[in-house]
Amino acid sequence: MNYQWYPGHMTKARRMMQENIKLIDLVIELVDARIPISSRNPDIDELGKGKSRIILLNKSDLADPVWNKKWVEYFAAKGMGVLEINSRTGMGIKSIQGLVQEVCKEKIERDRKRGIVNRPVRAMVVGIPNVGKSTFINSFAGKACAKTGNKPGVTKGKQWIRLNKGLELLDTPGILWPKFEDQQVGMRLAFIGSMNDEILIPDELACDLIGAIKELYPKALQERYAADPVGKPIEILEAVAESRKCYSKGEQLDLVKASGLLIDDFRSGKLGRMTLERIDSDNE
């Protein structure tokens, strides 16, 4: 299957972020911990030059804990603050404030030398669709936050949310679509649900996912579906259909239904904690 992206507003989103980036001190970027590189937009590194950076490995509860640690080390080595979080449950959210102070300490110190005390750090949250950005903002901001109104020099309509005395969030967060020429990137995005499932072919997506899982976590297929991990992806999908009693009329295996179950099991973590993207020479 050809995985393709249709970014209707990519140029508009990029322009909006370019405009907003001048107003902020810090870029907080959410990525999916299961595919930390594929779920990034490479433009963010260029747009965020000269700004403090934080990477949040969201949905880290669904990712392999061993690889979570390796990805934390990978991004930290690039000079970014990094945290494992789960924006849905709130895991790791309380640690963000301390990390903000740490990555922005030079800016805070510079302000202090100029006699500017208690000026909050201004941050922008960015991420691709379905990476959990809205959930994160709601969890991070909570109910106690107050909009502080338009700042001088800020385009009319932009609002700042004061999270606490040390941090303000621009409430027009950047949504950037990933650009990919590599079909593997598109495929991984389809696995986690960042592409519209309606434009995908379920059994082909499921077979691609089985291929990735059997390479990295073969036991998971055996344990959940009693499938032989040595088999071809289509044979494993048939085993999924049999184990879950997915039959259509005439007692034929319903591979489309089985595909949906398999994909849902992966996305919800029922297959176990998995990281489908590894650090290799291409990432270094």
Boundaries of CATH 1.10.1580.10 in the chain?
Answer: 201-268
CA distance 175 to 128: 6
Helix (H) or strand (E) holding 11, with range, is helix 10-21
Instruction: Give the helix ranges, DSSP H, for 77-201.
Output: 96-103, 105-113, 133-141, 183-192
Boundaries of CATH 3.40.50.300 in the chain?
Answer: 10-175
Q: Which CATH superfamily is domain 10-175 in?
A: P-loop containing nucleotide triphosphate hydrolases (3.40.50.300)
- The pTM (predicted TM-score) of the whole model is 0.89
Query: Token pair for residue 268?
Result: 């919800």
Query: Token pair for residue 16?
Result: 């909006």
Write out residues in the chain with pLDDT < 50, as ranges.
Answer: 6, 144, 146, 148-156
* 202-261 pLDDT tens trace: 999 999 999 999 999 999 999 999 999 999 999 999 999 999 999 998 789 999 999 999
pLDDT score for 85:
97
Q: Which CATH architecture has domain 201-268?
A: Orthogonal Bundle (1.10)
Torsion of CA 124, 151, 15, 130, to 10 degrees: 30
Point out the annotated binding site for GTP: 58-61, 86-87, 130-135, 174
CA distance 55 to 41: 12
Instruction: Give the helix ranges, DSSP H, for 195-232.
Output: 202-216, 218-225
